[in-house]
Amino acid sequence: MRIIKRSGTEVTFDLEKIIAAIRKANNSVNDSDRISDEEIDEIAKIVMEHCAMMKRSPNVEEIQDMVENQLMESNAYSMARNYITYRYKRALVRKSNSTDEQILSLLECNNEEVKQENSNKNPTVNSVQRDYMAGEVSKDITKRFLLPQSIVEAHEQGIIHFHDADYFAQHMHNCCLVNLEDMLQNGTVISETMLDTPKSFSTACNVATQCIAQIASSQYGGQSISLAHLAPFVQVSREKLRREVREEMDSMGIECSDERINQIAEMRVRKEINQGVQMIQYQVITLMTTNGQAPFVTVFMYIDEVPEGQLRDDLAMVIEEMLKQRIRGVKNEKGVYITPAFPKLIYVLEEDNIHEDSKYWYLTKLAAKCTAKRMVPDYISEKIMKKLKDGNCYTCMGCRSFLTVYHDENDKPKFYGRFNQGVVTLNLVDIACSSGKDMDKFWKIFDERLELCREALMCRHDRLKGTPSDVAPILWQYGALARLKKGEPIDKLLYGGYSTISLGYAGLCECTIYMTGKSHTDPSATPFALDVMRHMNDACKKWAKETNIDFSLYGTPLESTTYKFSKCLQQRFGIIEGVTDKSYITNSYHVHVTENINAFDKLTFESQFQELSPGGAISYVEVPNMENNIDAVLAVMKHIYEHIMYAELNTKSDYCQACDYHGEIKIVEDDDGKLIWECPNCGNRDQDKMNVARRTCGYIGTQFWNQGRTQEIKERVLHL
């Protein structure tokens, strides 16, 4: 039997909910006015029979009317009066604004959940507080007016996660792959100011950082740019500098050969590349966007993205400088070089750089040194990606969200200038626990939850429909994503595969353990885990066919949500060993952080799940300090090239300001059992006097984490 909720959604009739509501009303009256548990069960049974007799799905209000009538017929007048009052109060609550307490706690900096929500935001800073305050209002409006109640309830219960509800009230999308080439080559407009095509590499870098800041303020997810789009301006500078050197020599009456002029100009070119790359690194880190943080930007480094010859060699020079400056790091407030969170770097492994005799092997060795020191770059295997992406190799948007392959009107693959509409994540562990290990019931609940996710994703899509290009000119009118006319809606970019929309998933490991009794790395349990992945992919394909919207399966990078999901699971199902007994659940398809497995086996195992997560995935291996073992880093990189599309190495790069300690700052328990960070050298526990960098979700965090994520970081085992 089904009922219709206030949102209009049909769900399975649940007798226990009726019994629970009557018991609440029963407990609210004097002992003399109470009825027995047997009478409560009888009233609920009669209500269920009345619902069955209707020959249709009753709505919630009708069912509550039936309960009132039965209470009156049972002479439980006091309880009926309380029940009616309770219904009225709940109706008022649903219509009231519930943001006051959250906003006040933000202003007083005592909202612990918000403090640890984003590891790259400092909630004591005014701009961050302003963003969070706006976010609380947006979430309230979203819950009360913009989303069906069924989705709100599922989100609050941890059955699904409706990502970025704090931005949903506005017409904003998630992440994007910036068409920097269009903006630089054809000019762009920022704050109603025309910026022409740059006349030098350094100017191109400056314009790029301004574009990055504007784009970050117009969306809520990550963005990616390619150094291949900056590389052509090296030649622009080279030609300009050659003219300048020639003019200087002539003005001083010095005869100089073309070869000598070119040599002098080339020295100046390298200096300009140094300055341009430094500009990108420092401006990205120091810029503050309207959402109160540095732009979440990824820089893509792919040698074969440009033709062989001078342009490719120029790109190699830019990549080399980017790696060298990242190895150096940036200075903290004490003037000590530390690991910055952004920009995230991605380096493509390919035939031109993966072997010792490859032309650009020197760049790969430099990348290995950078990874050992600063945890970036991350690595994409051109070889594997081309197998999975129809012969194409391209960057993700932000940390892991990948576009599907799309061909433009000339039948050429197009990636830059595209975006993701949003994400809704499915809690796989909840599906498993709700099934009680009944496999038939598992797949039935799975399908019901998938339909709920589809409805939530369509809310995201519908929120973007009709959005005029005027809401974010830098995106829709001036080249970052499109060149639409003023007032033109973005609708055509939402269909036909131009943009994607993501079905996220979390906790495949715990889901498999509950249903099979074994980790998904166990050969007997792996087929079930793969079937779960295929089932979600099949749903995405079905939805895409029905809607002409590119649904894509996405390995969600849980940060604060891992803690939320864990708490909800424990509330709903209690503590289940190996399933709900942690303060976190596992990201996407990952091997559990406590499982002992070597780096090479882990990457090879997870590669099969990356293939089934086309909308986004990244794998990692946890390693010790590798600065004195670069050969081992290179060995892992070569394994990535041969076996998996996208992976990273996690090391530690911390600094204690109290004692100048460089190394790994540890996680310990205080007297109250809370997990805190402590310098192993001096015992410093003041987070304001330490710089800690950890990768949690594909990107590096530097502002600390909630207790769930902190436990996950503490329990990670080394894979090398």
Helix, strand or coil, per DSSP, at residue 285: helix
Which tokens go with 307?
């033709």
Residue 432 to residue 429: CA distance in whole angstroms: 5
Inter-CA distances, 681 with 630, 660, 661, 692, 718, Å: 26, 9, 7, 15, 22
Residue 252 is a catalytic residue: no
Decide: 681 and 661 in contact? Cβ < 8 Å.
Answer: yes
Residue 244 to residue 482: CA distance in whole angstroms: 37
Rounded to the nearest 10 degrees, what angle do helices 258-286 and 201-216 cross at? 20
The catalytic residue among 176, 301, 322, 397 is 397
Residue 244 to residue 236: CA distance in whole angstroms: 12
Contacts of 156 (CB under 8 A, 6+ apart): none
Pairing of strands 378-381, 646-650: antiparallel
Contacts of 424 (CB under 8 A, 6+ apart): 160, 161, 162, 163, 453, 456, 457, 460, 502, 503, 504
**Amino acid at site 370:** C
Instruction: Name the strand (E) or helix (H) holding 669.
Output: strand 666-669
Count the residues in the chain.
720
Decide: 626 and 632 in contact? Cβ < 8 Å.
Answer: yes
Residue 642 to residue 644: CA distance in whole angstroms: 7
Decide: 678 and 664 in contact? Cβ < 8 Å.
Answer: no
The catalytic residue among 174, 237, 650, 706 is 174
Residue 681 is a catalytic residue: no
Q: Which residue in this structure is represented by tokens 């799975």?
A: 446
Residue 397 is a catalytic residue: yes
Residue 42 is a catalytic residue: no
Helix, strand or coil, per DSSP, at residue 550: strand
The catalytic residue among 222, 615, 698, 701 is 698
Residue 175 is a catalytic residue: yes
**Amino acid at site 248:** E
Residue 396 is a catalytic residue: no
Nearest to 651 by CA among 582, 716, 559: 716
The catalytic residue among 559, 606, 622, 678 is 559
**Amino acid at site 581:** D
Cα 296 from chain centroid?
10
Contacts of 455 (CB under 8 A, 6+ apart): 9, 148, 150, 151
Report the chain's terminal Cα–Cα distance, integer Å: 54
The number of helices, as runs of H, and strands, as runs of E, in the chain is 24, 24
Task: Read off φ and ψ for residue 379, nearest 5 degrees.
Answer: -125, 135
Sequence-ordered strand ranges (E) for 165-276: 176-177, 188-190, 193-195, 223-226
Residue 150 to residue 153: CA distance in whole angstroms: 5
Q: Which residue in this structure is represented by tokens 């949102």?
A: 7
Instruction: Name the strand (E) or helix (H) holding 663.
Output: strand 661-663
The catalytic residue among 554, 584, 620, 655 is 554
Residue 720 to residue 712: CA distance in whole angstroms: 18
Task: Read off φ and ψ for residue 202, nearest 5 degrees.
Answer: -65, -40
Q: Which residue in this structure is represented by tokens 């301006």?
A: 233
Helix, strand or coil, per DSSP, at residue 595: coil
DSSP at 410: T
The catalytic residue among 226, 353, 401, 537 is 401
Residue 174 is a catalytic residue: yes
Which tokens go with 671?
């007297």
The catalytic residue among 66, 175, 515, 536 is 175
Pairing of strands 188-190, 10-12: unpaired
Contacts of 636 (CB under 8 A, 6+ apart): 599, 600, 603, 621, 623, 649, 720
Burial, 86: exposed, middle or buried (Cβ in 10 Å; 0-12, 13-18, 19+)?
middle
Decide: 555 and 589 in contact? Cβ < 8 Å.
Answer: yes
Annotated catalytic residues are: 174-175, 397, 399, 401, 420, 554, 559, 698
